[in-house]
Structure 1
Amino acid sequence: MTRKVVVAGAVSFYLSVGVPEFPLRYTAKCTPRWMAAGVSGAAGHIARVLRALGEDVHLCTVVGHDAAGVEIRAELERGGLLGPGVIEGRESSMGVALVAPDGSRLGLPYLEPVNGVAYPFEVMSAAARDAGLLVLTNAKFVRPLVGPAARLGVPIAVDVHLIADLTDEYNRPWLQAAEIIFCSHEALPCPPELWVRRLFERYPRCRLVCVGLGSQGALLGTRDGRLLRAQAVAPRAVVNTSGAGDALFAAFLHVWRRTHDEARALRIAVLYAGWKIGHRLPVTASLTGMELADLEKSYPPRITLRRWDDGG
């Protein structure tokens, strides 16, 4: 049995809306293609994926005592994620995702209600006892916890999402502390292969770097110089790409913790993310470990191996 995983970050109440196109044209009234509501946010989504796959997950987050908070707490309780790490704030974070017919989305996260909360480090450190991994999302209220958490001796993983600068001031605490770093390719200032090299050169604590490439799959660099690339797989039609990065991140962590096989973890993570985006509200769709293993047999993503430390 692997040790528990602590996930810290925002859990939000989200409304997802199907829109006709991007960019949106102004009109006084427009009937959406579809609409769905659910509990999401990076930490909430990651925790739900890991929990469904069989991990012992302890969630550290802030939930308000407002109407959205009632829904969030009820959903966390149904998923076995409501515990002492879920502290109360005045208001809950919320968001809206606008989704075009091709699955592309515009996210409108409203995190201000939880950004300024001083989350007690002693609560997180208690959850981290005997943990095998800390997943510290880059939510604002988590930032002051990263430095102290790095001294606990538990490996840290982070997804810094739309990062564009290796010296990014906001994300620096996570970049300095994490052994596993994920990000999106969308804002990178250079090719992802070069980004991997530069990140390893600048942050010696990092062991694994993964760049999500959207419809092109994902790229993973290892400290020993390997560069793995998995092609995207979409077992269902692409409906909503919201949360694809969270799914990629969580599924990779689950498989890698059990196998320490980076290539297999990357293949399965890309497959899982591809399966997720075939749902109208991806956060509500999760696979068990057995279901994921069955899916892997039917859709083995292709993977290639190069090196980042010799120019590729």
Structure 2
Amino acid sequence: MSIAVVGSNMVDLISYITRMPAEGETVEAPDFRMGCGGKGANQAVTCSRLGSTVTMVTRVGNDLFADTTIRNFEDNGISTAHVLRTEATSGVAPIFVDPDSKNSIIIVKGANAHLSPSDVDAAREDIARCSLIMLQLEVPLETVYHTIELGNELGIPVLLNPAPASPELRLDRIPGAEFVMPNETELSLLSGMPVEDREDVEKAAQVLLASGIRNVIVTLGSKGALWVHEGGSTMVDAHRVDAVDTTGAGDAFIGCFAHTWVETGDIERSMRTARLYAADSVTRHGTQSSYAQGEEFRARFAEQLAEV
């Protein structure tokens, strides 16, 4: 099972706060942690920990954060042949987590903004051996469009997570994507439609299907996820847990979905497995540090996985 991830990496700077400060105010935070993140890297690490062979196409800076990121990829068994150093700062993500485990995130793209179509072309031979290509929007849109075109040319399914939301993303440049996986906010921005309830979400997802996308899977946080396709829709409820930190849960869901779909070809089963993996991740602090290894995850949820 080989997966190519063309996307971002970040260093997460996580502050656990009691409340956000008002303008001009300084408040004390009870805890701070630093870890590796970025939507592309998060999804790549999830896939690798679950057992996929992963090729990462990304750019790091020329600072100490770059060394940390590269070492993290290597420690997680991810190929770094196409992790390119750049005369720029590495990407960073200051994250603020409140007592209810809700988070607010700022991203500074840094070197990620320099990932180019030519970088993707340089990795073409390795990408061509993969069964799925994964993309997000923390790298330039032209690189995203070019990678989708390459996937279509090579006959490799593409999964696009249109996050963070971008009003500049053009639906006419992403036809043929096997999966587009937005959250509610991203779906509303892409479709130009409200998403107040399930009926709204289905109507908005139909706009994406009409543009040539084959499957739309909308992540709904604590409500679960909704798969909308030409034949109808399927809702998968979330697995209930006591959350302590929801940072990176969406990436955990998408990465687990990708790994399981490549393994089984079963979309609903992949969603049901991914909801368990994402739920497990929010019971621990941090982003990638909250992602379970495959054997650990399968042992912890053996009973539930037998039923998916």
Residues 61 and 162 (structure 1 numbering): CA distance in 2 closer, same or farther, change over 3 Å? closer
| 2: CA distance, partners of 1:282 / 1:40 | 6
Aligned to 1:270: 275
1:209 corresponds in structure 2 to 216
Question: Residues 143 and 173 of structure 1 are in contact (CA less than 8 Å); yes or no, is this contact kept in structure 2?
Answer: no
Q: 1 or 2, which has the higher helix percentage?
A: 2
Distance in 2 of aligned mates of 1:177 and 1:207 = 7
Kindly, what percent of the aligned residue pairs are identical? 21
The match for 2:82 is 85
Q: Which residue in the other structure is 2:197 paired with?
A: none
* Aligned match of 1:110: 108
Match of 2:226 in 1: 219
2:154 matched residue in structure 1 = 152
Contact in 2 for aligned 1:98/1:107 (Cα 8 Å): yes
Q: Which one-letter code corresponds to 1:100 in the other structure?
A: D
1:30 aligned to which of 27, 30, 38: 27
Pairs within 5 Å for 1:51-62: 51-62=48-59
The letter of the residue matching 1:145 is: H
Q: Structure 1 residue 260: deviation in Å?
A: 2.1
Aligned to 1:143: 144
Deviation at 1:192, TM superposition (A): 1.2
Alignment match, 1:241: 246
Q: Provide the C-alpha distance between the structure 1 equivalents of 2:145 and 2:220, rounded to a whole number of angstroms.
A: 30
**1:291-302 equivalences in 2 (<5 Å):** 291-299=296-304
Alignment pair present for 1:194 and 2:203: yes
Task: Tell whether 2:95 aligns with 1:97.
Answer: yes
RMSD: 2.4
The 8 Å contact of residues 125 and 149 in structure 1, kept in 2 or not, is answered as no
User: C-alpha distance in 2, partners of 1:175/1:17?
Assistant: 36
SS in 1 for 2:181: strand
Aligned AA (1:125): R
Quote the offset at 1:294 in angstroms.
3.3
Higher deviation after alignment, 137-146 or 294-303:
294-303
- 1:217-275 per-residue CA deviation (whole Å, 9 max, x = no partner) reads 1111233x13111111143x211211111111111111122222222211111111111
Correspondent of 2:261 among 246, 256, 262 = 256
Q: Deviations over 1:16-51 (max 9, x none)?
A: 111112x53246432212111011001110010000
Q: For structure 2, which runs of at least 5 residues remain unmatched after alignment?
A: 195-199
Distance 1:174 1:76, change over 3 A: farther
Whole-angstrom distance in 2 between the partners of 1:271 and 1:24 = 34
Does structure 1 conserve the Cα–Cα contact (< 8 Å) formed by 2:46 and 2:252? yes
Query: Whole-Å Cα distance in 1 between the matches of residues 9 and 279 of structure 2?
Result: 22
Task: Give the alignment's TM-score, normalised by structure 2.
Answer: 0.86
- Work out the CA distance in 2 between the residues paired with 1:39 and 1:154: 28
Distance in 1 between residues matched to 2:59 and 2:18, nearest whole Å: 34
Report if aligned partners of 1:234, 1:275 keep a CA contact under 8 Å in 2.
Answer: no
Structure 1 gaps of 5+ residues are 304-312
Is the contact between residue 94 and residue 105 of structure 2 (CA under 8 Å) also seen in structure 1?
A: yes
Matched residue count: 293
CA distance in 2, matches of 1:70, 1:151: 34
Equivalent position SS for 1:253: helix
